[in-house]
Amino acid sequence: MKYLRVKCVPNGEAPLWVREKWVGLDFPITITSQKSVNIHITGVLSKPKNVLSTIAGYLLNKYERKNVYLVNAQGAVSILNTASIEAANWWKENTPYLLKLNSSLCFEENEIEIVDN
């Protein structure tokens, strides 16, 4: 089976100590994570809270367009929990909306590698 492995500290709005805990973790490749996608991304803390602010963000060109791999947020935080309960708790406390929906976390192409496990 193939996995996405985080090979360096990913960019993002989470504190550095939390982002460091992703390094070395493997996520199973799913249909949505088989290849990178070029999408507009937002930060996990600065994410728009409603449709109007989302539209305004697009109109004001506030979102960066990047090539990223998507992983299921709930599954990723569950895997993170095995490496660092404290880092997983940061996600649970600060981004609970990500864990309730079928949301994704993004890892940039240069932050991951595809490995056999």
pLDDT at residue 50, rounded to an integer: 74
* Residue range 61-93, pLDDT digits in tens: 777 889 999 999 999 999 999 999 999 999 999
Domain borders along the chain are 2-38+68-116
**pLDDT higher at 15 or 46:** 15
Average pLDDT over residues 30-35: 76
Model confidence at 32: pLDDT above 70:
no
* Residue range 42-65, pLDDT digits in tens: 888 877 777 777 777 767 777 788
3-state class percentages of the chain: helix first, strand second, coil last, to nearest 5: 40, 25, 35
